[in-house]
Amino acid sequence: MNYKFIIMNSRTTITISKETKLALEALKGDESWDEFLLRIIAEVQRIRREKNRERLSELLEAEFEEVRVKKWAREY
């Protein structure tokens, strides 16, 4: 049994307000709902990865500076 095939061909319904649907339709354009929502998911994941990468970089930089200062303090 091909699990992906079952998921890809199954459908579900989500309940949202008419206002939300109108706003989403305006952004969606000619894309199918699946294409649109998968694109939005990919974009959110990309942004989250970017933010996490920036935060990690800041933490590593701060850690490096702390180690450098401690090393300097021991030398003097």
pLDDT in tens, 1-55: 455 555 566 888 999 999 999 999 999 999 999 999 999 999 999 999 999 999 8
Helices 33-75/18-28 angle, 10° precision: 80
Domain ranges of the chain: 3-75
More confident residue, 76 or 14: 14
- What is the structure's pLDDT at 58? 84
Provide the 10 A C-beta neighbour count for residue 24: 14
The tokens for 16 are 């949202």
pLDDT in tens, 49-74: 999 999 888 888 877 666 666 666 66
